[in-house]
Structure 1
Amino acid sequence: MAKKTHGGTPAIDVLVKSKTPHKVYEYEHSREMSDGYALDTANILGVDAKTVFKTLLTLVDGKPVVAVVPADHRLNLKNLAKAAGGKRAQMMEPAAAERLTGYVTGGISPLGQHKRLPTVIDAGAQELPAMLVSGGKRSISVSLAPADLAALTRATFAAIIDHA
């Protein structure tokens, strides 16, 4: 379990401790947020939604798997199951995701979770110079290179979004 050692969140502490280049963004979400935290983040920061990624907790054949997908897309559960070497995937209940990661829904980061979980990042991230993910609070995001996120989480890249 990552501990707060640098005065930030466990996610930011992972970045600082590993000396991974990153940028921290702190902001307040809008009151409406009809499209969710990740899309609201893109709107507030004035960045392309394709560069803001949401962290989703799933169960693949009953085992937890983290999916990191662009804010403006939906996770394809069949593709995730295949990428994770399983047959069936489903979304995890929010309360279970919070207990497992140590973060609150809307602020779940792929970094600094209580326990390292298998992680799959959508393959489209590899085309970006930087991506934004939650920094471990609803009001904090961090920008870093997709390859750095993959290295820190031991993630794999796979096509896991719906293309509608």
Structure 2
Amino acid sequence: MTIEQPLPERSQIVQQHLDEAGLPGRVRELPDSTRTAADAASALDCEVGAIASSLLFLADDEPVLVMTSGRHRVDTDLLARQLGAASVTMTPAKLVREITGQAIGGVSPVGHPARLRAVVDEALEDYEVIWAAGGTPRTVFPLTFADLVAITGGTPLRVADD
């Protein structure tokens, strides 16, 4: 008999957001870290491109959460042009936790102390089911591209030239 352990607190907050949005996805905890898109894809037996990595950038010093396909890296120059920003830079790890309440490698699209400006990589639309972090480096949940755009209020944009 297997006793199911409760989700970590950060993941419970994410699940609450999914429930409130009426989404069917359930946060699940995996035995191994899903800190990178490759780790998550391996654990879930899916294409790395179906992993929605949540990355926090600073566009002219304003936080922007970018959900990007694991199949490529965000082109910060392209993103800056699309956002009309003079510069886009990665957010330092300490500030990521302060802004999102979550650690790098486990940043979810939702469940932050305050709603963030969001961008959703158009490449994620290529996948019927995408997987996002559930608030910790070992938790994930499934959803569709349309649901990701809806729950984040994100703007679909091309974030890489590949």
What TM-score range do you get, normalising by the shorter chain? Answer: 0.7 to 0.9
Counterpart contact for 1:11–1:135, Cα < 8 Å: yes
State the distance in 1 between where 2:67 and 2:11 align: 22
Give the whole-Å Cα distance in 2 for the aligned partners of 1:40 and 1:151: 26
Per the TM alignment, residue 142 of structure 1 is displaced from its structure 2 partner at its CA by 0.7
Could you report, residue by residue, the CA deviation over 1:67-120 in whole angstroms, capped at 9, with x for unpaired residues?
Answer: 111123111101222232312100000110011000111111111111111111
In structure 1, stretches of 5+ residues that fail to align are none
What is the TM-score of this pair, normalised by structure 1?
0.86
SS at match of 2:135: strand
Equivalent position of 2:12 in the other structure: 9
Alignment match, 2:30? 27
Give the Cα–Cα distance (whole angstroms) in 2 for the partners of residues 92 and 7 of structure 1.
20
8 Å CA contact 1:52, 1:131 repeated in 2: yes
Q: Deviations over 1:96-150 (max 9, x none)?
A: 0011000111111111111111111111112322210101111110110111111
Equivalent residues of 1:61, 1:87 under 8 A apart: yes
CA distance in 2, matches of 1:15, 1:60: 27
Over aligned residues, Cα RMSD in angstroms? 2.1
Change (3 A) 1:83 1:10: farther
Whole-Å Cα distance in 2 between the matches of residues 65 and 7 of structure 1? 20
Task: Give 4+ residue runs of structure 1 displaced > 3 Å after superposition.
Answer: none
SS of aligned partner of 2:141: strand
Instruction: Measure the CA separation in 2 of the matches of 1:72 and 1:15.
Output: 25
Alpha-carbon distance, 1:26 to partner: 2.0
- Alignment-derived partner of residue 77 in structure 1: 76
